[in-house]
Structure formats: C-alpha cells, structure tokens
Amino acid sequence: MNDAKLRYCEHLRRFSDQLIHLQAPIKILDAIKWPRELEQQFFDAGARQLPQVDKAFYDNLPLPFDSLATQKALKSLKQDIQKTLGKDDALGKLLVANVDQYRLVIDMLGHRGTPQFGKLSKALYGSASNKLHGDRHTLRQLGDRLSYIFSLPAAAHMNKQHPKEIDAASAVEHLGSRLGRYFHSDEMRVRLSDGIVSDAAVGGDTVKINSKAMFSKADLNVYEVHEGWVHVGTTLNGRAQPHATWLSVGSPRVAAAQEGLAVLLEMLTLSSTPGRARRISDRVAAVDMAENGADFIEVYRYFRDQNLSKKDSYRVTQRVFRGGMVAGGSCFTKDISYVRGYVENVNFIRSAIASGIPELIPMLFLGKLAIEDIPTLYLAYREGILAGPRYLPPMFDDYSGLYAWFGFATGLGNINLKGVQRHFQRQFRIIPNVEPMFPSVEDTEFDAPAD
C-alpha cells in the first residue's frame, strides 16, 4: 500500500471510529419502547381504551445524549469527511449518508408522540405505500398477499407442530452452544433479559432472550440464523474491518438490507414457520393502517378479525405505534423493512447471477450496509481497503449451490402457473373434500416482483 492510500485508510478509520462513538448512545428502540405492563392494562380494559401513551409519556423518557451537542458534532464530522476525503469520494459519500441518517434519527426522537415523528420515520425507513423496485405493486399489496398465503388452513395445521415447551434459561443454553460453534474466532453472548418486549433481540455482539417467554425448537432455529448469523455476524464482520469500522453499526438506511437478509436466511435454512412468516407479513398492513389514520384499537381489531391471537394482535400493533401517536396518523414504519428487504435481497442475488458477477453475493455479509452500497464496497475490497467477511453462512461461503438454486428459481419464473394449477387440480379430484389451498394467479392479480 503506497503512502497516499495509507493516509486515506488512516482518515477512513478515524472518521469511522468517530461516527461509532457519536452514534453509540442513540438507541432508537430504547427511546420508544413501551413498558410491559401496558399490555395487561389494555386487556384488563377489554381492549376498548387506547394505551396511555402520548407526547408527555415520551417526554418523561429522557434521551441518554445531548441532542443539540450530538447534532453539532455530527455536522462537524460530515464537514471534516468532505473536506478531507473530498465530496466525490465514494466511501466518503457512504460515511456521510450514515451521518445524515443519525441526524434525522435525533430529529425523529425529538418529536416522539407527534405527527412529525411519523414523517421523519417515513424519510428514514420508507412507507407501506412505497412501490417495490421495478414493480407496480406496493409493499402493502405484497404484505396482504403473503399474509393470506400464511393464514390458509394448512398453515394453521403446521403451526401446531411447534409447541413452545422450552424455557428461557434452556433457550439461552442451547442457542449459546450453537452460536459459539459458528462464531469460532470471536466472543459473543446469549443472555437472559428482563428489559426487552420481544421474545429475542440483538445488541451488538449479544443475543438477548426474554426471561419471561417460552420457546419452540423452531424459534431457536430462527434466532440462530436471524439474530445470530445475520445481525451478530454482520456486526462482527464490520468490527473486523481494518479501516471501515463504521460497517459494524447500522443507521436506518441499512434496516431493509439487514432484516431482509435475516428473513432470507430463515427461508434458505428452512427455519421459519407459517406463523412466523405471517407475523412478518402482517406488519406491513399494520404500518399502512396506522399511516392512514387508524388508531391503535382499530389496528388491533383488524388482526383479531383475521384470527390472530390476542397476544399476537397486540404485539404487531404495539410495534408499529411505538414512538408515534396511538390515535393514528403517525407511526414507526421500520416494520416494512422485513418484506421490502427480503424482496430486495432476492432480486439483488438474482441480478448478480444474471449479470455474471456472483462474487458480489457474499458482500451482503460484509457489515451493516445498504444493498446499493455493495458495488462501491466491492471495489474497495478489490483495492485492499476493505477485508472480506469473516463469518459467512455455508451457502454464502460456497455460493455455487446458491447460484444453482436461484438460477432454477429464475428460470422457472416465467412458467404459466395458472396452467400448471389446472393440470394438477384435475389430478387432485380423486381426493375427497379438498378445498383449494391457494388462489389461482388470476384471483390474486399479483405478479412476482421484478428485478
């Protein structure tokens, strides 16, 4: 590495470390989380009263950082990056994009419980009314189609095969053993937590398990690949970067790539279940309804009418109204990231294969990144500025099988499914009392997302 490139890498490392330091206390989910007792209060009131969450509620949850001082420091960092690396430097632009995101996040958190919170959330994460890249359909339309598929009678039957019989302590032991083997060169932890609302969550190199929850074997399979291989894995891969250490932390612009990749791993490893897939898909409908003015009770009742349990209906609704207004019109839109990101990851992989550059595929695990960053990051990797990902799931380490799988899937994509269904439905007539499990293509009026 010549002197000029060495100085460049030193600057990149300095700016990366500064960004990591400044963003450390900005914890979005901690700033908008609801206490667990609100759920029981909601049910005790017969699900007829809005949760007691408003602007005053959030004002009583002070942010663990000085907003004005942090904004000033981030602005100064942006100016320093552009002055030192140049406004047109490719990696500098990615750093600046993340700096700008954190400045928006601070603004959003300063408007918790107000209409402005929802507007800024859309600017950061997008909206359920957004269309998929290269396709005419919205995320809400795709979410509705998936929710329908994952709520068919066969799906309900399969969900019964996954009883929650594992206590939290045992879940920690089993998951810790599995992930300890996967992360062979780094220390990571799986621990019990009383401070999370969800059943599992990730913080840096730690997987947190809700101490009050029970789990199925399928749950642990999901957590291993979703929380472990993807979220912890990309954190550790980012930390292993010699210069671009900012790849170890994620601003909202990376949410879709991260969550979509995690869902994709659930599918590729056959870890997910229809119930899990439905919960992910239902989140898009919840966001869309809240964005369009539905209040907490209306969204909750919508899911109850869709035969979701009381607990699941509350949880999916609560996730969306965090930080926003329980009366509707302002909500936390991050939950569209799972479906949106899944489609974007699949189409990225298909496009990399079709374009003859499958070498881009493992770059998805380089760190916390947005998919559109990958060409720039790959070039930096080729120049020796970035290190390759230390931890890769087996199918991404040797991606020949992935190439074959997606190659077949792409090749079959143009087959007339309507005609195929008619062919097999004629054969199925000998089976008594069979109800159609899936709608025909003309009933769904929804084409596969385009590349």
Phi-psi region at 190: left, alpha or beta (left = phi > 0; alpha = psi -120 to 50): beta
CA atoms of 133 and 369, how far apart (whole Å): 18
* pLDDT of 444: 44
And the tokens for 420?
């195929």
pLDDT of residue 441: 39
pTM greater than 0.85 (yes/no): yes
**What average pLDDT values come out for the chain (451 residues) when binned by 10 residues?**
92 98 96 94 97 97 97 98 98 98 98 98 97 84 89 72 89 95 89 86 92 93 97 97 96 97 96 91 96 98 93 95 98 97 94 92 98 97 97 94 86 78 83 54 42 37
- Degrees, nearest 5: CA angle 286-330-20: 95
The domain spans of the chain are 414-444
**SS3 sequence of 13-59:** HHHHHHHHHHHCCCCHHHHHCCCCHHHHHHHHCCCCCCCCCCHHHHH
- 3-state SS, residue 443: helix
> Which of 365, 325, 218 lies closest to 279 in space, CA to CA?
218
Distance CA 364, CA 392 (A): 10
